[in-house]
Every structure is written in C-alpha cells, then in structure tokens.
Amino acid sequence: MPAEIIDGRAVAKRLQAEIGEHVKDFVASAGAAPGLGVVLVGDDPASAMYVRMKRRACERVGIHSEAHILPASATQQEVESAIRAFNCDQSIHGILVQLPMPDHIDEEAALNVVGLAKDVDGIHPVNLGLLGMRGREPSFTPATPTGVMILINETGAQIEGAEAVVIGRSNIVGLPVALMLANANATVTICHSRTRDLAKVVKRADILVAAVGRAEYVQGDWLKPGAVVIDVGSNSVPAPESEKGYRYVGDVDFEAARSVAGHITKVPGGVGPMTITMLLANTLKAAQRSLAVAS
C-alpha cells in the first residue's frame, strides 16, 4: 500500500486559522497587532521571495510586519543597527534576519544582536544551546524543526523509543531537529557528509528526517518499511516542460519512497508551509509574553 501523504499545506492552513483567532484576541487586549520585524540584506531573489511570502502570511493572520531592506553593500554596523532598532521597537515582538546575508557580513555576530525575547527564528546561540540542555527550555524553538515535529505528531507515530535518523546537522535544521527528537525520547542518529554506509543507517529508522540539500538523494530501498519520512529538502531542478523552467524536489526520491514508507511528506507542500506557520506562531507567542510582562 502506498504511504499516506502528510499534507503540510492542510496542517499549516489549520494552524494559521487558529493563530489568526489568537491574534484577534491579542489585538482586543493589547490594542495593537503582534509585530514581526524582518531584516533583509542584498538582492538575492530567493531571499526576497521568502520575505514576500512571510509578509503575506503575516497579513493573512493579522500580524503587522515591517522590513528593513538594506543594499548588498551594507556594512556590518548598518545591519546590526537595523536589528537593534527592532530590538528597541515596542511594536515589534519578533525579529527575523533573512539568511544568507552577503559574504562580507558576519552572520553569527549579526544574529547575536537579536534580543532573546524577540528571537522568533529560534536560532540565537543561547536558544539553540538551551534546546540541547536537559531540563532547560529555549525561549523559542526554530521554525523548520518545530514544523517537522508537528508533522511527525500528525501521523500518530510514537516518537518515544523510536529509532530516528536525521540526515544533516546544520544549525537551522538538522541539529535542532535531532535535539527535539531526543527531547521527545527518540533514539537519535545524526548523519552527515562523512557518515559511512548511509543506506544502512537509514534502514533502521522508524522516523527519517532528510535535510541534506541534494535532490532525490535518499533512495526508496534505503527505507525501513512503514517508516515516517519527513523530507525537508527544497532543491530546484531543471524542468523544461514547466513555464518557469525549473521545479522543486526534495532530498528523497518521492516516487520510490512512497511505496515503502508508511507516511511521507511531499515537496512542495510538506515542510515548507510549516516553516512560515511556526514563524507566525512564535511571533504571536512573543507578543503574548510581552503583554503578560506588561500587565
């Protein structure tokens, strides 16, 4: 039987409707909308597109969004000043620094400037560190990994005691997903570019999260039958038949994998919509906390 599709778009739509209701309650109590501040540096078309998508998603749920758009020639000091301005702005509850930034910008130093209470992307080193510590809670968990966890939970699969394999160890996806799975009591294996015999490691996964950045890399016959497969990958590949000339595929060979897996996400329409939704959820959470502190 082919795997059940985990419909990220439908889950995201449901959650965004709930967020929209909570935003209305917030506006009724606070007299103003939750606010997201976005810092975009340079003219990378993909980054500009992500920022537009985030702005539209904010509008849909009633979150106010503002962007500081700086030219590619902006200095480190200018970027950090833009972030500091949002830190001091009481109408802004969450700050998103769109990555990647131009090469001459020290991203780590810039991200360190984001106030912890406004780190709605959850990638401040302190928040990531807290995520990895027993018994500690970060202010926010990162958007994509949080979305991944929700999609796994949607399947009804038991995470506790499960063998989970995460391919990828980046600071924004692989590592935090692995920490969140371990916090949910899975037995976690992290794979990366030096992992020996990846197929053999993947075979033992009850839950597989692929965050590699290589188009259709994970093969169907690597999977354990019935596995939950979450494909984070978003890779553009040539598609001369389409109007745009390209299309997006995941890190997993979807057609081969769906006949082995128990549940699987699609690309597009899986993790992507969840990432934006989690950013909205974290912005709302930041705003609610600021109201609780003020009252």
**Binding residues for ligand NAP restricted to 197-216, rule: CB under 6 A:** 198, 211-214
Rounded Cα distance between 62 and 22, Å, is: 10
Is 194 a binding residue for ligand NAP by CB under 6 A? The answer is yes
Rounded Cα distance between 193 and 168, Å, is: 8
* CA–CA–CA angle 108, 114, 118 (5° rounding): 140
The pairing of beta strand 207-210 with beta strand 163-167: parallel
In the complex with ligand NAP, the residue whose CB is nearer, 120 or 271, is: 271
Rounded Cα distance between 275 and 44, Å, is: 20
In the complex with ligand NAP, the residue whose CB is nearer, 131 or 167, is: 167
The mark string for 249-288 relative to ligand NAP (x by CB under 6 A, - otherwise) is: ----------------------xx--x-------------
In the complex with ligand NAP, the residue whose CB is nearer, 170 or 259, is: 170
CB of 47 to ligand NAP, least distance (A): 12
Q: From the CB of residue 28, how many other CB atoms can be counted at a distance below 10 Å?
A: 8
Q: Which residues are catalytic?
A: 54, 98, 121
Question: Which one of residues 55, 192, 203, 204 is an interface residue with ligand NAP (CB under 6 A)?
Answer: 192
**Binding residues for ligand NAP restricted to 150-189, rule: CB under 6 A:** 167-170, 172-174
Question: Which one of residues 233, 253, 266, 288 is an interface residue with ligand NAP (CB under 6 A)?
Answer: 233
